[in-house]
A and B are shown apart, each in its own frame.
Chain A
Amino acid sequence: MKSIVFALLFLGFFGSLSAQRMISKTGHVWFVSETGLETIEAHNYQVGTVMDASNGNLAFQALMRSFQFKKALMQEHFNEKYVESDKFPKATFKGQIQDFADLDLSKEGTYDVEVAGDLTIHGVTKAVSTPGKLTVSEAGVQAKAKFTIVLEEYEVDVPALYRSNIAENIDIQVDVTYTK
């Protein structure tokens, strides 16, 4: 009797959890640095992310080591010299979809949203906000966003010698799908 009640409570609790919080571990986040001399691009296809469908809260977590570059040496320098992945292994974002109450995610369609929150890279946290798109379909909710960060704000120091190769402003793009 006791265990049944316990199990029911347990199920009820986790049931509500899974209904509200949608998790993906295969989010795609990529960035591009563009200068006249060089375009540098790196992709991370293993970004962990969760969206709370009850209140529009969002979180992202990316391992810096999982960003893949075309050139192996570039990847090594990115991790060793610039973002210092051993010291700061993860980049994270924690925020909210603005005016979430006005959205009805039970209806299929594409919604323009504004996302605001705290982005942490290289151990430095900054408030960011960006427009994004939510696409609700049978498969789930796809979230896309594109925004720009200033490297200097995250204390990623680019030596004078490489300023013509590494852009001051880095474009970051996000494409994740939360399955129902």
Chain B
Amino acid sequence: MFHRIQSITYMKSYLFSLLLLIGMQGIFAQDDLLDLLDAEEEPRTDYTIATFKTVRIINGHSIEMPAPGVMQMIISHRFGRLNGGLYELYGLDQANIRIGLEQGITPWLTIGAGRSNIKKTYDGFVKWKLLRQSTGARKMPVTLAGQSTAAVNTLRTASLGLTIPEENFKRAYRYSYVHQLLIARKFSERLSVQIMPTLVHRNLVPTAAESNVVLAGGIGGRIKLTRSLTLNAEYYYVLPDQLSDEFRNYLGVGIDIETGGHVFQLVFSNTRSMTDNLFLTETDGDWLAGDIHFGFNVMRVFTTANKWTQKYQGKF
């Protein structure tokens, strides 16, 4: 009796195995070879691309960097204030310029330099990337980058409003430094947001009331309107009691028009400055009073070292 029960159990399990196999055969042998390929697929990580159209949101850095072996040229103009009226042709009579070059070295390292007519400032920076936003096998919610800029104004002392002779004005007085973290997330195809904790150090400040070290927090973002057009904004809040009263927080809005190799950025902001240390600490326009400067950045890429690009092919 017991023996019989056991064999029934056996039979059941044979039957079950057989059914299972037939079932599996059904799954595997079904005509869809694509499902087979899907099953063969190894887990992969998709790194987020195109968080922003280009390396700047407006004046400040975005987390984007030129690819290795690619040089980015930036030609920026900022005009006078819109409230200058027709007499000043709404600011177009005054033009300020910065020309900058940035070289992508690896997917995570860029160096760059620029020269602006404002205070005859030269700036140089190093920008690096530590984390990349990704989905899939390796998940990362944000991209984390950073940049450090050193800027030097080369105005003669007389133009700085100083009466001391040139040789008594130490070179070190002319330097300012900016250090930033750039933390960005592309929330969707349309929306990217970036926050920028920022520290500025100025070797020399105009009055004792101003601090040499200035702390600020920035937020910026973009909304993609069409695949070639985005609306950008960027705002920096300088913590109180660090600057003299005439200076304000910087706010810029603009659009990016991307045309293959070029990105044209048309911008409105309350600053004339295009170097970080200046727009952070010396922005003097009041948006509500119409102290708005129109300007543009023309961004163009050139391949400078194809070998570097090839070396990192598939890794950016």
- Give A10 to B31 CA distance when docked, in angstroms: 20
In the bound complex, residues from chain A placing their C-beta under 8 Å from that of B67 are: 71-73
Establish whether residues B70 and A72, one from each chain, have CB atoms under 8 Å apart when the complex forms.
yes
- 6 A-B pairs with the lowest CB-CB distances in the bound complex, closest first: A72-B67, A59-B33, A80-B50, A61-B37, A81-B227, A48-B37
B18 within 8 A of A: yes
Of B17, B189, B261, B313, the residue contacting A73 (CB under 8 A) is B261
- Give A81 to B50 CA distance when docked, in angstroms: 10
Interface mask (B208-232 → A, CB under 8 Å = 1, otherwise 0): 0000000000000000000110000
In the bound complex, residues from chain B placing their C-beta under 8 Å from that of A66 are: 314
Total CB contacts across the A-B interface at under 8 A: 85
In the bound complex, residues from chain B placing their C-beta under 8 Å from that of A5 are: 14, 17
B→A interface (CB under 8 Å)? 10, 13-14, 17-18, 21, 24-25, 28, 31-34, 36-38, 40-41, 44, 46, 49-50, 67-68, 70, 189, 227-228, 259-261, 301, 303, 306, 309, 313-314, 316
- Give A17 to B30 CA distance when docked, in angstroms: 12
Establish whether residues B36 and A77, one from each chain, have CB atoms under 8 Å apart when the complex forms.
no
In the bound complex, residues from chain A placing their C-beta under 8 Å from that of B32 are: 59, 94
Interface mask (A140-169 → B, CB under 8 Å = 1, otherwise 0): 000000000000000000010110010000
Minimal beta-carbon separation of A88 from chain B (angstroms)? 12
- Give A175 to B125 CA distance when docked, in angstroms: 45
8 contacts between A and B (CB under 8 A): A2-B14, A9-B18, A23-B37, A50-B36, A59-B34, A72-B70, A73-B67, A94-B33
- Give A111 to B306 CA distance when docked, in angstroms: 40
A79 within 8 A of B: yes
Establish whether residues A165 and B40, one from each chain, have CB atoms under 8 Å apart when the complex forms.
no
Of B14, B40, B303, the residue contacting A48 (CB under 8 A) is B40
- Give A48 to B39 CA distance when docked, in angstroms: 11
Minimal beta-carbon separation of A77 from chain B (angstroms)? 7
In the bound complex, residues from chain A placing their C-beta under 8 Å from that of B34 are: 59, 61, 92, 94
Instruction: List the B residue with the shortest CB-CB distance to A59.
Output: B33
- Give A73 to B28 CA distance when docked, in angstroms: 41
A→B interface (CB under 8 Å)? 2, 5-6, 9-10, 13, 17, 21, 23, 25, 48-50, 52, 57-61, 63, 65-66, 68, 70-73, 76-77, 79-81, 86-87, 89, 92, 94, 159, 161-162, 165
Of A10, A50, A79, the residue contacting B49 (CB under 8 A) is A79
- Give A134 to B34 CA distance when docked, in angstroms: 21
Apart from A6-B17, A9-B17, A59-B33, list 4 A-B contacts with CB within 8 A: A23-B37, A48-B40, A61-B41, A70-B309
In the bound complex, residues from chain A placing their C-beta under 8 Å from that of B228 are: 81, 159
Instruction: List the B residue with the shortest CB-CB distance to A71.
Output: B303
Establish whether residues A49 and B14, one from each chain, have CB atoms under 8 Å apart when the complex forms.
no
Establish whether residues A21 and B17, one from each chain, have CB atoms under 8 Å apart when the complex forms.
no
Of B25, B37, B44, the residue contacting A13 (CB under 8 A) is B25
Establish whether residues A13 and B24, one from each chain, have CB atoms under 8 Å apart when the complex forms.
yes
Establish whether residues B259 and A161, one from each chain, have CB atoms under 8 Å apart when the complex forms.
yes
Instruction: List the A residue with the shortest CB-CB distance to B301.
Output: A73
